[in-house]
Structure 1
Amino acid sequence: MLVTYFQNHVVTISYDEDMSLGIAIWDGFLSSSDLRDAVEVCLQLIEEHRLLRWLADNRKLRAIRQADQDWIVDSVIPRLAASTLRRNASIVSEDLFNKMAVAQIIKRADNLGDMELMDFDDKEAAIAWLNAPLLVQRQA
């Protein structure tokens, strides 16, 4: 059952405990503080519920500022790599500048640990990939 964990004007964050899945649905151009606050909530959810799967629905997400890209690479990626997360699916943004920003973030992320990343154009394909059996099981 999908439970809403957090919601505001830029993001809806929810999770399904049975599927060990978190979902963030992003909307629009975010200020640095909105982006960073929302990402911190995502990380808190992942750590609190020891999630294995994540779906970022970025279709409506707009450009990400360079300073925020740097923050994601320096602060967020290491926490994700150290987390229980094993599969991270993104539904690609319709915004060209967001696509370029995300590509740069991924290119700069040098250590993802056991986490796999995959981009998708539609939600059904992303969910199918996320639900496929995992090779690495969560530690108790």
Structure 2
Amino acid sequence: MVTTYFQSKAFTLLYDHTNQLGVAEAIGFLSSEEFREAVTMCVRLLEEHKPLRWLADNRQMKAIRQADQAWYAEFAFPKLRDSSIRRNATVVSEDIFNKMAVEQLMKRAPDLGDMALKDFEFREEALAWVLQPVK
């Protein structure tokens, strides 16, 4: 069963109970307030449902401000590192500025433990990979 956990004009967060999968989809440019609200809702889903899998569909997401990248690194990386997620798939953005922002963020990432991370160009491939059995 898939439920909508949170939705705004530029961000949708779903939870697939059957597959223990969180799905985050961003569209366009998110203001600092929108970005931080979206990330905070993702963290809340992680804490409440303890999913094993995560799919971030960033295909239509635009650039992330420097200040928001710094905030994400400080706020979200520790939560992600300590989360239940074991498979984390990202469908990369078509926007070059978002790609560069995410690359910069990942350079700042701490050791994420047993979490497998993988980037994809197509959502179908990302979903197939993330739904594979978790070790």
Residue 60 of structure 1 aligns to which amino acid in structure 2?
Answer: Q
RMSD of aligned Cα (Å) = 0.8
Q: Gaps (5+ residues) in structure 2?
A: none
Letter in 1 for 2:37: D
Tell me which residue corresponds to 2:98. 98
SS in structure 1 of the partner of residue 4 of structure 2 = strand
Determine the C-alpha separation between the residues in 2 that align with 1:79 and 1:46: 8
Corresponding residue number in structure 2 for 1:133: 133
Query: Contact 1:92/1:119 (CA < 8 Å) preserved in 2?
Result: yes
Tell me how far 1:110 sits from its aligned partner.
2.3
Equivalent in the alignment of 1:119: 119
Q: What stretches of structure 1 move > 2 A for 4+ residues in a row?
A: none
Correspondence for 1:138: none
- Tell me what 2:67 maps to: 67
One-letter amino acid matched to 1:12: T
Q: Which runs of 5+ in 1 are unaligned?
A: 136-140
Q: Report the Cα offset of residue 73 of structure 1.
A: 1.2
Tell me, what secondary structure is at the counterpart of 1:23?
Answer: strand
- Tell me the secondary structure at the aligned position of residue 132 of structure 1: coil
**Partners of 1:95 and 1:78 in 2: CA distance:** 27
Q: State the identity as a percent.
A: 54
Where does residue 109 of structure 1 map in the other structure?
A: 109
| 1:51-62 equivalence runs, <5 A | 51-62=51-62
For 1:111 and 1:124, locate their aligned partners in 2 and report how far apart those are by CA, in whole Å: 27
State the TM-score, normalized to the length of structure 2: 0.97
Name the residue aligned to 1:20. Answer: 20
